[in-house]
Amino acid sequence: MDFFSNLIPGFSIALQPINLIFCFVGVFVGTLIGVLPGIGPVGTIALLLPITFGIPPATAIIMLAGIYYGAQYGGSTTSILVNIPGEASSIVTCFDGYQMALQGRAGPALGIAAFGSFIAGTLSVIGLQTIAGPLVSIALSFGPPEYFSLMILGLIILTYLTQKSMVKALMMAGVGILLGTIGLDTMTGVPRFAFNIPELLDGLGLVPIAMGLFGISEVFLNVEKVIQQSLVTTKITHLLPNFKEWMESKWAIARGTVIGFFFGILPGGGALLSSFVSYSVEKRLSKNPEKFGHGAIEGVAGPESANNSAASGAFIPLLTLGIPANVVMAILLGALMIHGITPGPLLLKEHPDLFWGVIASMYVGNVMLLVLNLPLIGLWVKVLRVPYSILFPLILFFCLVGAYSLNNSTVDMALMLFFGVTGYLMRKFEYEPAPLLLAFVLTPIFEQALRQSLVLSEGSFTIFLVRPISVGFLIIAALLLITSSFSVLRKKISGEAVD
């Protein structure tokens, strides 16, 4: 009963004309940037953040969320037709999607990617709606020690799931905390590391850092190598998969949905990891694993379902606990705060319109995406013909102008360029920027929780160990660190190169 009683007011928000328009703009822009390689949802959401300042918060979040899950749909088109992932989460779709396209089966590959995404996206929104309420009830009992331990766990999970070195990822989380402390201390009013620069007293802006680390650095990395675009030129027909293709894909879609949903909730898990896990699971369970890599439709259906499911699952920790599971959610957290809304357990109580409106808009957005990605596939193919040589100066230009429009200050532009160069060098030296940005966003909550806990316990760190939920989080974090260390040691003993 609760399920529907919450949805009805949610739909009354989501179906308002202004929200429908912004939802459409979000999923359209999301699909567009998903199709275009080299531009991701992080940079785009950061770029469009300033234009949401003048619209109601629910409308703003509906649009920004649409960009995120829309990008997961669009990424598959580029993977299938060009063999270049439009999004990182569509890398595995290249393996079998492009092979299907070469065999003249681009239509069914695009079709199953869109239908799988739609089914998974819709089912995971149902999951989000079901889990969010009970989780909020639990989160309401959290005090500063629980929040501190939860954030430690979140950062450890993020670094544990990192693609490269865990030590480097942990270090970047430390650097993120350092950057997060720049500006006035909110508890004492003391300026920290501002070097008498007035613009730094309010702290570093999220948008210049996010666009620099992810947008500008991505362009720098792309322009130093030649991108070969080999667009499949055959006519795209049979977008609706046939009965046999549906039968081959149905369990891949179901498993991808479940995998994506749970990996989406994990900090750092998200769409990328879930798509890889889904692909491995499908290959392992397949009666014909040799087909994988040569045009197996399950190799497209599973990962594409997983990455869309993960995109919805990632909203759970943000909306219920106020903790972002990935970088996009970190920017959405920033967006909510800019609009004067603090995400967390009280969000549902204080802003039910926003909470249920955003969830309901995801149902609407998924339907819009199905329409955008199937009948309008010809449009996206045309977009794919725009060469990167024209695209990248435009990306840089809009990033810089977007940064300026935040505060009408060239300091933000300079900061963005600085973090662009830093991000480029970090990636060159194999330091991942995601833990840095997530830690940066979490620092104000993290610092407040730590200092309040210490004041409550009169300076004793045992406060984190005597409260059951807090100690539970810390035990899981410690286990992850131990298993990671054992894995490194095992590799070392067996003589493999470790990072």
Partner 1 sequence: MKADRVSGFFWLAVGLIAIYGSVRLGIGTLQEPASGLVPFLAGCFVSLMAIIVLLRSFLRGPDLQVKLSGLWEDVSWWRPVVIGFLLLVYILAFEKIGFLSTSSLVLFLMFKCVETLSWSKSALVSVLTSAFSYLLLRVLLKTTLPKGIFGF
Sites of contact with partner 1 (CB under 8 A): 50-51, 165, 167-168, 170-171, 174-175, 177-178, 181, 185, 187-188, 190, 192-193, 216, 219-221, 223-226, 389-390, 393-394, 396-398, 400-401, 404-405, 408, 410, 413-414, 417, 420-421, 424, 428-429, 431, 443, 446-447, 450-451, 454-455, 458-461, 497
User: Tokens representing 155?
Assistant: 């950062």
Q: Which is nearer to partner 1, 131 or 221 (CB)?
A: 221
CA distance 49 to 61: 10
Q: Which is nearer to partner 1, 230 or 460 (CB)?
A: 460
Alpha-carbon Rg for the chain in angstroms: 22
β-pairing, 183-184 with 191-192? antiparallel
Nearest to 23 by CA among 72, 74, 75, 65: 65
CA distance 394 to 400: 10
- Phi, psi (degrees; rounded to nearest 5) at 183: 110, -170
Q: How many angstroms separate the most distant Cα atoms in the chain?
A: 71
Q: Which is nearer to partner 1, 222 or 280 (CB)?
A: 222
Closest CB 201 distance from partner 1, rounded Å: 13
- Phi, psi (degrees; rounded to nearest 5) at 184: -70, 135
Q: Which is nearer to partner 1, 51 or 376 (CB)?
A: 51
Q: Which is nearer to partner 1, 1 or 190 (CB)?
A: 190
Sign of the alpha-carbon torsion through 160, 164, 167, 172: negative
Closest CB 9 distance from partner 1, rounded Å: 31
Nearest to 249 by CA among 96, 359, 143: 96
Closest CB 96 distance from partner 1, rounded Å: 29
- Phi, psi (degrees; rounded to nearest 5) at 191: -70, 140
Closest CB 451 distance from partner 1, rounded Å: 5
Q: Which is nearer to partner 1, 371 or 394 (CB)?
A: 394
CA distance 300 to 110: 9
Cα of 375 vs its chain's centroid, Å: 27
CA distance 244 to 254: 16
Closest CB 459 distance from partner 1, rounded Å: 3
Q: Which is nearer to partner 1, 237 or 485 (CB)?
A: 485
Q: Which is nearer to partner 1, 141 or 389 (CB)?
A: 389
Closest CB 224 distance from partner 1, rounded Å: 4
Nearest to 160 by CA among 492, 495, 484: 484
Closest CB 394 distance from partner 1, rounded Å: 6
Closest CB 158 distance from partner 1, rounded Å: 15
CA distance 72 to 304: 8
